Each structure stands twice: as structure tokens, then as C-alpha cells.
Amino acid sequence: MLVLYVLYTGGQSCLSNTTVIKRILFISGLGADEQAFSRIGILPYEKIYIKWLPSLEGETLEVYTQRLIRHYSITGSDILVGLSFGGLICQCIASMLKNNIVILLSSFRTKEDLKVTFRVPLKLGLHKLMPAFRIPIIDLIVAKILNGGTQESTPVLKNMLKNTDYKLMKWSLNAIADSKVIDIEETKVFSFIGTKDFIVKEWGNTNLVIVEGGSHFMTFDESEFITQSIIDILHQNG
């Protein structure tokens, strides 16, 4: 799924006048919400779940990202975690705010990092034929693509897809089709891709982790491993 949820907590929280709680922001993928991260365990930072804003007519990825930054008071000190399309947004944020750490889960840099069954339709512009409304019978098919057929997470995916903003999804697919590699050389990027991901292929990254049996929705199906991996990254680089 290409694939943002924010439960905004009102900006940075202060323990005192000099101590600021570090935040880790989670941005979900297309058709998803905070349920995608519901199995992520306790982390040493405050967890913030970013919620998608409605897209505006003719809005570019960069302009949309700037609106998110303003709306949720995102800063360069925040750790960014993105699932699928949410990872592309994280990269865009980091290019503007110079965040130190970006963690990509089942994510990509451009459409070239997608498997051929998804890359070619985007290149051909077939996504433009997609209706901007929900077709219920498609939900189950999409769920199986996202989780590799895992039964446990299928109900969660179907529930999220039921509430999807298909106008936003169509805009997001167009943003992916037009995307170019984002320059974030100053940022430490950690990428996790599952062997059962039907959407994203392995792409070169110094900090690439291949998750055996992981699907595109491994934030749910492989949550214990993902949680511990995030904790390790924060302890080593925080």
C-alpha cells in the first residue's frame, strides 16, 4: 500500500524549562492510519502518530510536506519513521529540516524501487484511471497484497481501507509517479524490507535490513522485531 497518521499532542512537551521530551514521529502509508503501528512496543521516546491532511488541487509533494511540518510543528530534532509512502514523506521532511535519523519500513525513494507490477503501471500513468472513491470488493485484494496473505492482519487492513480517503490516495500515487531521489546525505537512513513484500524490491542502502518473511505490512506482522530494531537504532544513534 503505498502508504500518514497523526494524533497530535500539541507540540513538544517539556519536563522542565530545560528538558524536552524527544519525539519519534510515525507516518503510515496509503490507505493506512495509526493502526499500522498499533503493535509497536514501548520506545524510549514519545510516540507521535501523524495523520494525513486532505490534499489540495495541484499540490506538489514538497508543498504538501511543508503543510504537514507547519500543522504538526515538526522539527529537525524529531526522529522520523515512515511506512511505505509515509517513508517518502519522511525523506522530504528530512531534506527540509535536516533530521538526524529516518527509519524507512517497507518504503522506497522513487517508483524505481517498486517491483515491476507496480512500477510499470505508474510509468504508464494507469493510476490516473483510478476512481477517487472506494470500491469495497477491492479491499480484500489490496489487503492480501499488503500483508502477503497473512490472516491475522487482514481484518485490520480491511478496516483501515474502509476509511481511506481515495482522493488522497490518487494524489499520492501521482506524487510517487513524479518522484525523484531526495537528497538527504546528512541524514542517517535505516531501511527495512521484507522478503514477502509484494510492492517494494530490495534497493541499495548502507543500513538495509532484510526481514525474513516480512510483508509490506510488517509493522504489524513483525512488530516485535521492528520494535527492538528501532530501540537499537535510537540507543546507538540517539
What is the DSSP track for 77-131? TSEEEEETHHHHHHHHHHHHH--SEEEEES--SSGGGB-HHHHHHHHHTGGGGS-
Q: What is the pTM of this model?
A: 0.86
| Domain housing 88 | 5-237
| pLDDT tens per residue, range 143-202 | 667 765 567 777 887 777 777 787 888 889 999 999 999 999 999 999 999 999 999 999
Largest CA-CA distance found in the chain, in angstroms, rounded:
54
Report the pLDDT averaged over residues 63-67: 97
Report the pLDDT averaged over residues 68-83: 97
| pLDDT tens per residue, range 89-117 | 999 999 999 999 999 999 999 999 999 98
| CB-based contacts of 181, cutoff 8 Å, min separation 6 | 109, 110
pLDDT at position 75, please? 97
Reported as a pLDDT band with limits 50, 70 and 90, residue 12 is: very low
The percent of residues above 70 in pLDDT, for the chain, comes to: 82
CATH (domain of 199): 3.40.50.1820
Strand order in the sheet with 101-105: 5-7, 46-51, 23-27, 79-83, 101-105, 188-194, 208-211
Helix (H) or strand (E) holding 75: none
Helix (H) or strand (E) holding 187: none
Asked if residue 18 has pLDDT above 90, the reply is no
Asked if residue 8 has pLDDT above 60, the reply is no
Report the pLDDT averaged over residues 202-231: 92
Asked if residue 14 has pLDDT above 60, the reply is no
Asked if residue 11 has pLDDT above 80, the reply is no
- Pull the grid cell for residue 51: 495523520
Report the pLDDT averaged over residues 122-134: 72
pLDDT at position 147, please? 64
Q: How many domains does the chain have?
A: 1
